[in-house]
Structures are given as structure tokens and as C-alpha cells.
Structure 1
Amino acid sequence: MHSSIPRPLSALLLGALAASPAALAQPAPASQAPVQQVVIHASADASAEGLKAPYAGRQVARGGRVGILGNQDMMDTPFSQTSYTQELIQNQQAMSIGDVLKNDPTVRLARGFGNYQQVYVIRGFPVYSDDMSYNGLYGLLPRQYLAAELVERVEVLRGVSAFVNSAAPGGSGLGGSINVMPKRAPNEAVTQVTLGVESGPQGYLAADIARRFGPDKSTGVRLTAVRRDGDTAIDRESRELSLFAIGADWRSRRVRVSADIGYQEHKLRDARPSVDIDKFGFPAAAFVPRTPDADANHGQGWTRSDERDTFGTVRAEFDLANQTTAWVAAGMRNGKERNDLAGVYVADRAGSTLVSRFANQREDDVATGEAGVRTSLTTGSVRHELVASANLFYSKEHNNYAMSTTDSANDLYDTVPGPAPALGFFGGDLHAPRVVGRTRTRSIALADTLVLADDRLRLTLGVRHQTIESYGYDYNTGLQTAQYDKSRTTPMAGLLFKASKQLSLYATYAEGLVKGDTASGQDIANQGEVFAPYVTKQGELGAKFDHGRFGGNIALFQARKPIAGIVGDRYVGSAYKQRNRGVEGTFFGEAARGLRVLGGLTYLDTDVQDKDAVGAPRWQFNTGVEWDVPGLPGLALTGRVNHTGQQYANAANTLRVGSWTTLDVGARYGLAVAERFVTLRAHVNNLTNRDYWQSVGGYPGANYLVLGNPRTVVVSASVDF
């Protein structure tokens, strides 16, 4: 691996910079050189109202997309939500969606089972990265990792959301949902190039170019290109990323259309794997090993993970009348993965490990769409905001796998390179994966928000009817082995009272939905019984405050999730319940002039048969600060503290991973150089180089450990032409 930039991307960037002067934004004269970046307002969807404006401090927005309800101001909706802006993403030099969500006190980053997929744990429940939505549509984003440069906003909606978003097709999203919004061309021309380097070293080059055309600037195009290549701060690990995306939009007086197409290729070599502490199913013999050095690598040089995705969307909105708007949206994705992974199991307290091998190829084809209509009418003193929508989702998965039948010996604390164990157990042809799964979901939803008392009282009532179909096929023969086709109706009710312009109080009841199990096991009487979708029920009380330049949210919540199990001689779909309840608070804005803050705290109490859930810390908090240094215009100092409490590492609660706290610091300086605006950024993540187990599990029933990243230095320079 190396940090050079491929010639095609270099040529593209140089070509953009060499564009004619008429196409480029004109630089300011030297005497008028800017001292601050131009504030840019852009709409990332095809809606008439566009994105909600940034809040004071510009790190978060005043609201965001609430599924079927559309873009909502934070003080008008009975949900807890935070929308992180592109300005925050760039200033923090975030590489992935996981990096952005390190700012959120209700979210913690985990990892998928057996691979390097990012998983986001919200209120103690996972959200898989392939269950993120892209401008409201599921399944269109790369499955394991998404570069942060692609998006304009990262929106976190906390709590179950089967009504507002429909059920996530991957079976997660019971603690919340994550939606990302694509970039659009703002009114001002944009030509920005960023060069950077990260500990490893790893090189970075990005271009962001946007133009609007026509006498009324009705047509916009925005291009994003990114290249990362080189080693990471982890010993021997290397990463390569290529991203190219184009977003376009057009609008007239009554019609708005937007479209996006993107390509991302992500490659890992010798990446550090998770650590299994209970490979053979003997929980009494399991233990939590001592934490290795943060920059150590217990992986192997023969490991690789390659992911390549092509995706696109189109969305259109039509004003049928002054108060009535209809919309349609559709998207497709083709994703290909190739993995050769090392499984690491710790065999004793001295650090002896057994290393296995797992290889597979996977290809996903996804098509999704939605249509709806939104209108407003008044009956007496009550205004009704009515909406109806229909959603369709289809995915087809090709897959195969191969596993080693013997393990090789190694050491967690002194890992040495070794040959790859021979593959001896195969599921399908490694060179020609078969179709092994198909998923179809469809739903219709209706909602009415009743606005009363001069907009001080808002009652939202809604219902969604959801159908989930799933089919499984044998890896070797291609014959169908499983079928699932069940439906469920999901209600929602939310009441919001505006006690004043600065304070909103709300209460919400909502439900989450995932596919039910099929009864299986030894000596059970109902073998093969297919259960209806499982319903997670949640109640929430909250308060939102907005003091103009400083705001936040406090929420108390409780959710109950069914857990399947065997009772007597029967497999029961809701034999037990997992109960997650807690309180969370978030804050954001400008605490004082030139002092921006972002963070909050979460307390979570989980109960699974009188035990705490695996990988669900009771306490977690974040505090981020940006300070504009007085007397030095353009200079800002930054810092962030992240704390995560102890986590249980097994269902019996006899194993526990210690709490951890990390400190990130940085600086940013903007100045004019040769009539161009330049922004210099530097960050040090995990300043103290803390060694810690970042997460436990991330996949239901699993308790593997993921080691936190070491001290990492990132520096970059952005030039606006």
C-alpha cells in the first residue's frame, strides 16, 4: 500500500481546477480577501422547504427528516433527533459515519459479526450500517462502511420508528434510525480541494465542486471525489478508499427533481479483527483478556476485505395544489464484497490464541421506492397536516463461504505472521456465489397531525401496515430452504405542547418491527412454526429547549422487545422480554460568543431475565468544545471527551469490560493566501493513547471484543478556489 493518488482521480481534480474562469467562482481582490468562509445554504432533497437551517454554532441543524412526516423543526416534533451538519463533518475531519456519531451521547460504535461492518448502538439496540437510509430510502448505501464526504447531513432519530420509516429490512433499528442526506449545489459556486495525511502514514485527497446553471439557477450539479490510500495508525494495517458521486437537482415553480449516483470502493489489508472470548460455547470457562496495546495488530497479513458499491436515486415532488404535494422516489444499488478473514479466539489468560479462517464472496442487488401525498386542511379551529405513503423494498443476496477445519496457534500480545489455514469446509462455489436470500417488504402508512391552540398543541396519529417476505436458499443446491410471509399493523401517537417559544414538552408511543422466527430446535412440538413479526413497544416523555443560541433535549424512555426461546416442549416467539429504559440529554449551540458546545449524557438500564444486556453500558457521555481564540481571527481550538461505562460481556453477567474515556484535541485556522481562502486543520484522536476494549458484540447474542483505535494524528489543508 502507498499514499500516491491514482492518475484518473488526479487528472479529474486537475481538470476541475483548470476549468475556464467563467465556470469558476471569481476570487476576491486582495484588499477584500475573506477572513471567514462563505455561509452556504443548500437543499439536499427535492422538497420545497429544503433542509432545516443550521443551529447557532453550525454543528447541528434545527431539525431534520422524520420519515413520512418530512423535514420538521426540532421544536415541532415529538421525537428526540439530532442532525449533524457537513460543516461539523469537515471541521472534525471525519472519515466515516461512525466518526460523525462519536459526537452523539446516545450512540456507540460497534462492529458486525465476523467482519468490519460498522454497527451503531442506540439505546442499547444495534442499527446495522446496511439499515441506514439515504434520503429516506433503505438499502442503497455501502453495507459495511460509508465515507463521510458523501453526505450533507447525518440525522439520528432516537427510538423505534417502524411507523415513520417503515421496518428496517436488515432487522435492526429498534433503538433508533440513521438517515444521511446527499449534497446539493448551493447558490454560490464551490470549488474546493483538500489535501491531508493521517498517522500511518495515509494520504488523502478530496474535491468538492458545485455549480448552478440557467438564468434563475434552477439546475444544480455537485461533484464529490475522494481518495485515501496508505497505512493506518494500527501496526501493519492498511486502507484504501475511492469515492465518486454526482448529485443533480432541478426545480420549477411546482416541480422539483433531484438525482444522485455514487461509487465507493473500500479495501482493507491486514486489518485488526475482533477477539472472540467464547468460541466453543463454554461460558463458564470464558474470560475478558487484558487489553493489548492500542496500536498492536493481532490480525494476519493474508486477511483482506474488499467492498465495491454502485448506487443511485431519483426523487421528484409535485405541487398538485397550494396545500397539496405528491412525491415519488426510487433507488438501486449493486454491492460486491470479497473477504478473507481471520477469526481470533483467546484460549488462556497468558494470551494464547487460535486463529481460524473464513472466506466468502457476496453480491447484493437492491431496488427500493416510495410514493406519497401530503396536504393540509382546516376544520373549525383545527388544522390537519395529512400524509399518506407507500413503500416497496426488494433485495437479492448472492453468497458463498469457506472455513478452515483446523486453527493455527498465535499470541494476542505478540502476534507473528503465519500462513493462512487451509480451507476445508465449503458452502457453495467460492468463484460463483448462488442466490441464497431474497427479501421483500411493502407498506402503506397514513398520518394526521392535528394542530390546535394557535400551533401550541400538536397531536400526531399514524398507522402503518407492513408486510415482510423473506426466502432462503441452499448455498450448494440453490433449492429453497425457508419462506416467511407475514404482516403487521404498527400504530404511533405523539403529543407535543409548546409551553413557550423556548420550551416544548412531548409524549410519544411508538412500535418497532422485525421479522419473527421460525421454530427450530431438538425435541420441540412446533417445529417449523412461523411467527408473526416481533413488535417492540416504546413509550417516551421529553422536553426540548431552544434559547436562541443554545438548545437541547431531555428524554425518558422505555422499550420492551420480545425474545424467542423454548418453554417446555415448544419454541415460543415471545417467551421473554428485553426491557431497555433510561434517560438521555443532549445540548448544542453557542454557550457564549465564540464558544460552541456539543454533547450530552445517557443513562441506560437494561433487563434480560433479570440480567443486564450484553454490550449495553449504563453510562455514556460526550462533551465537545470549540473556542475561537480572542485576538487571533480565524483560529479555533477544539476538544472532545468521550466516556463509556462498564459493559457486560456475557449473558450471565459474570464477565465485564472496563469503562473507558478518550480525549480528542485539535485546532483550525482560516486565512487568505494569494486571494484564496485556506483552512488548515489538525486533530489528535485518543490523545493519551488509551488502551481499551471499545465495544462488546454488535450482533444479537454475540460477545466478541473490539479494540479501540490508538492515538491518531490527522492534518489537512482545504483551498477554496
Structure 2
Amino acid sequence: MSFPKFKPSAISLAVLVLSCSLAQAQVQVQAQPAAPAADPAAIQTMPTVNVNVSADATASGLPAEYPGGQVARGGRLGVLGNVDQMNAPFSSTVYTQTLMQDQQTRSIADVLQNDPTVRVARGFGNYQELYMIRGFPVNSDDLAYNGLYGLLPRQFVATELLERVEVLRGANTFINGATPGGGGIGGAINLVPKRAPNDPLTQVTAGVDSGGQAYLATDLARRFGPDNSTGIRVNLVRRSGDTAIDNEERQLSVASVGLDHRGRDFRLSADVGFQEHKLDQSRPSLLLAPGIAVPGAPDASSNFSQPWVYSNERDTFGTVRGEFDLAPDVTAWAAAGARRGSENNSLANTTATSAAGDTSTYRFDNARRDTVTTGEVGIRGKLRTGDVGHALSATASTFTLKSRNAYAISDFAGFASNIYSPVSVAAPAADFFVGGVLSDPLLTQKSELSSIALVDTLSFAQDRLLLTVGARRQTIKEKGYDYTSGAETANYDKSAVTPVAGVVFKPMQNLSLYANYIESLTKGPVAGGTALNAGEVFAPYRSKQKEIGAKYDAGTYGMNLALFTTSQPMGVLNGSNIFGIDGEQRNRGAEFTVYGAPVRGLRLLGGLTLLDAKQRRTASGANDGKDVIGTPDLQANLSAEWDVPGVRGLSLSGRVLHTASQYADAANTQKVPSWRRVDAGVRYVTSLGKQALTLRGQVENLTNRDYWASAGGYPGSGYLVLGAPRTLTVSATLDF
């Protein structure tokens, strides 16, 4: 596995200059008269290392869990590091391993079902998980793993790999850098790998789902050496069998190792992981022919796929990270990561041609091979100038993706079927439209992202007022190559600077008022072949966000409120047949979240989102003022977990999710009905001999409702995804 090399440049020079400045400031600010000579015996005594492990190798460890254990008090904010949410001028929620284990989550999508600001969709034409945050898509290409992009499997990420799932809402290019998949407008998701806790861990979980899918997982952790300074954690997972959807089969194999070492003035960590995910006859998304009414949702357990459909994904990935204390309040860090991934699919792309559920389907085969290398270096320090505190940070990052692709498509005329009474057919020949060789795809895409960021958080009035200002210079380079010949077909190379300004004011210790202005940056388009300016390359899109909010911490429960507006430029072909960045999508909304344990034995998690996502300045004004595809105006979640009085170890849980109606087309003629889902669960903690035993049961979609769970996800496309049927999951966890 190879890791990226940083080239000498203005980026590394800026980091070096800040390093020297911070170190010099520390000497000046903290200079004290010489202390008396120390006792020789004391010199021989090393201080005890406090093992408070953190995946990003910080001295303080992970932010503490909030009462109830389902969320944490803070999380990673890119260049800013771990920040307590009461000190952050942004909206975020960090979900813990406790929640993931108690809810028996399988993937990131399961975790984010708890978030009222997020709805889960799917990638265009495949089974990739996709997350709509504030009405903008964040696909799994844009997930960060311990702060680095592009390292995790593209389609599905197993939660057994993770300690926490950190959700940051809103534009975030300054915080994390531009994303490789073009997201980062509505939010960001960082996944935190597991580390060995202070106490030895030997845990085995076995379970089964509706349909007969079996599950076995092992979680092992130990600490070694003086003061337990070195840790190792190993996770092994296997899922296999049918799902609750007719004829659908899933296989998952996961293995990961997490290492960490804590020295007196440095911390090191490393992760290596492997995941293989196989789907057979999985149910596809449903495209809609123009002008038809949306068909009613078929039976949630039914399957309108084909027997020859499959999707196989295999990934190996790793990261290393180190943090070094240069002075009492100055720390430098470096991180690197790499991934090799392969995907092979044979998909049934299905389009509804009538409201009666008639369909036309064609076969689409594709192969993909990815190689990713990425890394960052940085320095962070604190100092004071008079009564003003400063928390200064600088970072430089790099990302490279080399992707090899090939495809083969059958006749687009396809074959007929119906979603209510599907017909199985033999696989049609995929020879109508071919690009490359599936068994040996050529290089078709090379993406390079690089950036430098500088930020200062100033603190006034005994830290009651915090002001964050900074900027990131981002460069986006991308080359495209012909699928068959390998010849270069496109070359994109643009740079831009995105600023950030945020303020937090604490009128009381448990109340924070905040505001921010921040931008996101995504690759600009190239004018298409039908435009008079075909081939013109446009600068990166700047999406601009303004937000105000309040956070209240009552000690055992918390509440957050945010009001935001985000504008994203859109490409438009005008009446003169000239393509330009003249359109706009504007998303405005309000979010409310609640979490914690307001009374003993009761844990709450939920909230709601009000969203107004409109198209503006569209081509010839045809869709001005109409809703953006796949953006419901109301999303609400509420989950509760209750410890039953008088029955030690018994807990009951329930969750309600509501999503308002949404549109599957830009003209707002294809309306998808609202839906509501109820989940329920039970957990019982007891003992088997001297070992702790936890029994869990969870039912998703308790009422077995048939509904379209999402519309769209890929910009400008309004495909539908059918919600899962009633699904029972039971498991037993034994701690040795």
C-alpha cells in the first residue's frame, strides 16, 4: 500500500512559518523565572500516561458521551480538530457506538435514520447509499474516514468498523476541503474508527434477520506496555443469507485492525480494513417516464429485479496518523491513507412507463477499479495577546484518485414488465453500447485535489465570545480519458479560495448563540456539445451559506435550533443557446434537534426539519419557484428508549419517522406521497455464568407500510426507491 508524498510548495512553507511563529510565541508568552533544581530521584520518574484513546491521536481523546450515551458532546471539525459543540459555530450531531450497537445498525444509512436533518436515498443506477442533508446530496464517495476522504468502500460501509458517526450540517469546504464526489454543500459525514478501550474487550455477537440472513461479529481489544500505552482492536464480521425482500440475497465480510500508541509527547494510530459486499437480485430504483403519474408503491417485500442482477464490491484500505507536541500548547500532525477498490455489476435499469406500473428495463454492466492516495499535514497552537486568546491552525491536504472503468449496455428499447406483477427474463446481451473491456478496464478518470487552510479562533471576555475566521485555497484538477482508446478527452484545472466566519456568544454557561458564513466548492461544469460555447470550462461552483442558531445544554438533555439559507449556482442553457452559470438552487430552512436523558431511565433523540428548496433563474423561467427534486418540506424523527422500572436490565424503545411529500421531477408534475414509519425494539441485559449477555430485538417498519422512501439523489434525476418491508432483527452479545 503506497502513501502520498507532499511536494515542497507554498503549502508546506505556510505550515512551517506558522509552526515557527507559534513555537516562538509560546516561548515569549510562557517564559518564567528558572525553577529550583529538581530532585534527582524525581527526574527518574516518568509521569503516568492517561490512556484516553482517540482515533485522531489527540491528547484529550474523544469528546465525552452525553447523558444517555447515544450522542457525544462534540466531534471533529476538520482543521479545527475536536470541538465541543457548545463552542462550535456550526450545527452537528455525533452518534456513538452505543447507539449503533443497541439499534443493531448495519450501515451508515441505518445510523442516519435517527437524524431529522438527513434522509437516505440511493446513487443513480446503482445501490450506493446516498444521504440528503439540508436538501443536498452527500454520497458515499464524500465520506471522510478519520478526517480523510475517499478511503472507504463507495457503495456501503459497515458500522462494525466505527466508533462514531459525526454529522456536520451545512457547507463545509473550509472545514474539510473540497470533496472528491462533488458534495459538501448540505453537510459532511466523518466516520471515526474504533480504538482499544482501557479495559480488555472480548465480545461476540450472533444474530439473524427476517428472511434468514445470519450474522456473526467478533470485537477484540487489548492494551499493552507501560501504562497500557499501546492498544490493538480487531473486528471481524460476516453476514450471509436472504433479506426480507423476496429473492434478495446479501453477503458481507469485514475485517479491520486498529492500532494506537501514546507516548509522553506524541500519539500514533493506524488502521487497516477489508470489506467485501455482494448483492444478488437486489431490488433496483425506479425511473419515471416524463409526464406519467407516480405509480402507487408496490408491496414492500416484493421484488421487481431480475435473477441475473448482481453487485460485487471489494475494498482494502488503511490510514496512519501521528500527532506531536512541539511545545505545551503547540501540536503538529500528519496523516496519510490509501484504498484499492473493485466493483463489478450487472444491473437492471428500470423505468416506469405508466401509472399502472408498466416498465421497460435494459441491462447495464460495469466494472470499476479505484486507487486512492490521500494525506494531510498541519499544526495547531494556542497563545494570548493581551486579553485575547488565539487558537491557530494551518493545514495542507492532498488527494488523488485514479479510476479505471468499462461498461456494456443492452438495447435501450429493453424488455417489458410490471412492478406489481414482475416478469423474469433471460439476461439480454449487453452488446448494444460498449465502452472498454469489462475484464480489463482502462484509466478513464484522474482526480487531484490539493488545498491549504489557515484559521484563527479568537476568544474574548473569558471565552464567552468566540470568533472564528479563516480561508482555504483549493485546487481541483481532473482529467478524463476515452473508455476504449485511453486517449485524453478532458482536462480541468481550476483554483479558488473559500472563506469562513463564525461567531459564538455565551450569554449563560449552558446557552450558546452562533452565526456563520461559509462556502462550499465543487468542480465547475464544461459546456456541452449542443451549446454554442461547447467546451468552455467554468470555474468551480461556490455555494454560499448563512446560518444562525442556538444551543442549550441542560446537563442531562440538550436542544439545538438552526436557521439557514444556502444558494447553489446551476448551469443553464439560455435562449441564445449559450451555456452559463446563470441558474440557482436556494435551500432555506429551520432545524430543531433534541437529545439526552431528561429523566432517569428515559433517553430521547429526534427533532424536525422545515425545508424550502426552490429553483431560481431556470432556463426560460420554466421552473422558477418550483421545488427541487427530492426535497420534502417537513422531516421529523422521534425515538425514545425506556428502562422498565422493576425489571433490571430491560429496556424498550420506539421510533417514528415522518417525511412529507416531495417531487420526482423539476416541473413538479410527479408528486411522491408523504410517508410515516414506526420502529420498535427491546433490549435485555443479564448474565450467562460470569459473562454479561445482552439480548436485542428490533422491528423496522412495524406496520409493514408500503411507501416510496426517496425521490432522486443524483442532481436533476427523480428516480424512486421503495422502502424496506417489516424487518425483524434479533441478536445476542456475549462479553467474555
TM-score over 0.5 (shorter chain): yes
Aligned to 2:447: 439
Residue aligning to 1:10? none
For 1:504 and 1:71, the matched residues in 2 are separated by: 17
Selected match of 2:91 from 76, 80, 85: 80
- Choose the corresponding residue for 1:665, options 665, 676, 680: 680
**Which secondary structure state, in structure 2, belongs to the residue aligned with residue 505 of structure 1?**
strand
Aligned to 2:40: none
**2:713 maps to which residue?**
698
| Residue of structure 1 in register with 2:34 after alignment | none
Contact kept? 2:52, 2:60, Cα under 8 Å: no
Q: Is residue 347–residue 363 contact of structure 2 (8 Å, CA) maintained in 1?
A: yes
> SS of the counterpart of 1:698?
coil
Question: 1:645 — aligned with what?
Answer: 660
Counterparts of 1:290 and 1:387 in 2: how far apart (Å)? 53
Q: Deviations along 1:285-312, whole A, 9 cap, x unmatched?
A: 3321111000000001100000000000
Any idea what SS the aligned residue of 1:423 has? coil
What does residue range 165-244 of structure 1 map to in structure 2 within 5 Å?
165-244=176-255
Alignment equivalent of 1:359, drawn from 365, 372, 377 = 365
Aligned partners of 1:335, 1:203: CA distance in 2, in Å?
26
Residue 567 of structure 1 deviates from its aligned partner by 2.1
The residue number in structure 2 matching 1:64 is 75
Residues 111 and 117 in structure 1, CA contact (< 8 A), matched pair in contact too:
yes
- Distance of 1:229 and 1:335 partners within structure 2: 21
The equivalent position to 1:454 in structure 2, one of 456, 462, 475, is: 462
Give the alignment of 1:138-157 within 5 angstroms. 138-157=149-168
CA distance in 2, matches of 1:139, 1:532: 23
- 1:291 and 2:306 correspond: no
For 1:185 and 1:612, how far apart are their aligned partners in 2? Answer: 47
Does structure 2 retain, via aligned residues, the 8 Å contact 1:388–1:445? Answer: yes
What corresponds to 1:485 in structure 2? 493
AA matched with 1:671: T
Q: Counterpart amino acid of 2:672?
A: V
| 1:457 partner amino acid | L
* Separation (CA, whole Å) in 2 of partners of 1:372 and 1:179: 18
Match of 2:535 in 1: 528
The answer to whether the Cα contact below 8 Å between 1:333 and 1:367 also exists between their aligned partners in 2 is yes
Equivalent in the alignment of 1:583 = 590
Paired with 2:58 and 2:318, the residues of 1 have a C-alpha distance of 18
Contiguous gaps of at least 5 residues in structure 1: 1-39
Q: Say if 1:516 and 1:573, in contact at 8 Å, map to a contact too.
A: no
Q: What's the CA shift string for 1:526-564, capped at 9, x where partnerless?
A: 221111100000000000000000102100000000000
Match of 1:322 in 2: 328
User: 1:59 Cα shift?
Assistant: 0.1
1 CA distance for matches of 2:108 and 2:505?
A: 33
**Residue 468 of structure 1 aligns with which residue?**
476
TM-score for both structures, normalised by structure 1: 0.93
Q: Deviations over 1:457-506 (max 9, x none)?
A: 00000100000000000001100000100000000000000111110000
Q: Which amino acid aligns with 1:666?
A: G
The structural deviation recorded for 1:399 is: 0.4
Q: Are 1:304 and 2:310 matched, yes or no?
A: yes
DSSP-derived class of the 1:240 partner? strand
Cα distance per residue 1:622-652 (max 9 Å; x no partner): 0000000000010000000000000111101
How far 1:351 sits from its partner (Å)? 2.0
Q: 2:171: which partner in 1?
A: 160
In 1: Cα distance, 2:670 partner to 2:528 partner = 29
Which residue is 1:681 aligned to?
Answer: 696
The 1-side partners of 2:557 and 2:356 are apart by 51
1:134 aligns with 2:142: no
Q: Return the alpha-carbon distance in structure 1 between the equivalents of residues 560 and 319 of structure 2.
A: 33
Residue of structure 1 in register with 2:13 after alignment: none
SS class of match (2:508): coil
- Residue 509 of structure 1 and its aligned partner are, at CA, apart by 0.2
Which residue does the alignment assign to 2:104? 93
Change (3 A) 1:100 1:268: same
Given that 2:123 and 2:129 are in contact with CA atoms closer than 8 Å, whether structure 1 keeps it comes out as yes
1:105 and 1:600 in contact (8 A); partners too:
yes
Does the 8 Å contact 1:520/1:571 carry over to 2? Answer: no
Which among 526, 539, 544 is matched to residue 537 of structure 1? 544
- C-alpha separation between the residues in 1 aligned to 2:629 and 2:575? 26
The aligned counterpart of 1:23 is none
Which of 280, 284, 289 does residue 269 from structure 1 map onto? 280
Q: Is the CA contact 1:366–1:395 (under 8 Å) kept in the aligned structure 2?
A: yes
Match of 2:724 among 709, 717, 721: 709
Shift of 1:343: 1.0
Deviates more, 1:567-576 or 1:210-219: 567-576
Structure 2 counterpart SS, 1:499: strand
User: Does the aligned pair in 2 maintain the 1:517–1:573 contact within 8 Å?
Assistant: no
Measured in 2, the distance between the counterparts of 1:154 and 1:678 equals 25
In structure 1, give the amino acid aligned to 2:491: Q
Residue 41 of structure 1, CA deviation: 6.4
* 1:570 Cα deviation from its structure 2 partner: 5.3
2: CA distance between counterparts of 1:509 and 1:129?
26
**Displacement of 1:429:** 1.0
Quote the Cα distance in structure 2 between the aligned partners of 1:307 and 1:620. Answer: 32
Correspondence for 1:21:
none
5 Å-filtered alignment, 1:328-347, equals 328-347=334-353
Q: Is the 8 A contact 1:617 1:647 kept in 2?
A: yes
Q: State the SS of the aligned residue for 2:98.
A: helix
Which residue does the alignment assign to 2:603? 596
Q: Provide the residue aligned with 1:17 in structure 2.
A: none
In the alignment of these two chains, the number of paired residues is 676
Structure 2 unmatched ranges of 5 or more:
1-50, 616-623
Q: Distance in 1 between matches of 2:226 and 2:179?
A: 42
Q: Deviations over 1:651-695 (max 9, x none)?
A: 011110000000000100001111100000000000000000000
- The 8 Å contact of residues 140 and 156 in structure 2, kept in 1 or not, is answered as yes
Q: Which amino acid aligns with 1:459?
A: L
Q: Does the 8 A contact of 1:562 with 1:573 survive in 2?
A: no
Q: Give 1:44 deviation, angstroms.
A: 2.2
Q: Structure 2 CA distance, aligned partners of 1:447 and 1:70?
A: 11
Residue type matched to 2:517 in 1? Y
Could you give the per-residue CA deviations for residues 183-204 of structure 1, whole angstroms, max 9, x where no partner exists?
A: 0001100000000000011000
Q: CA RMSD in A?
A: 1.0
Deviates more, 1:42-51 or 1:438-447: 42-51
Deviations 1:200-230 (A, max 9, x none): 1100000000000012101000000000000
Asked if the contact 2:255/2:274 (under 8 Å) is kept, the reply is yes
- SS of 1:88's partner is helix
CA distance in 2, matches of 1:327, 1:528: 41
Q: Which moved more, 1:43-52 or 1:689-698?
A: 43-52
Give the percent of matched residue pairs that are identical in Structure 1 and Structure 2: 57
**Distance in 2 (alpha carbons) for counterparts of 1:417 and 1:205:** 33
Match of 1:15 in 2: none
Deviation, 1:525, is 3.2
Deviations 1:384-403, CA, capped at 9 Å, x for gaps: 00000000000000000000
Selected match of 1:398 from 400, 404, 408: 404
TM-score (norm 2): 0.91
Aligned to 2:438: 430
Post-superposition shift, 1:49? 1.2
Hey, what's the Cα distance between the residues in 2 that align with 1:189 and 1:698? 43
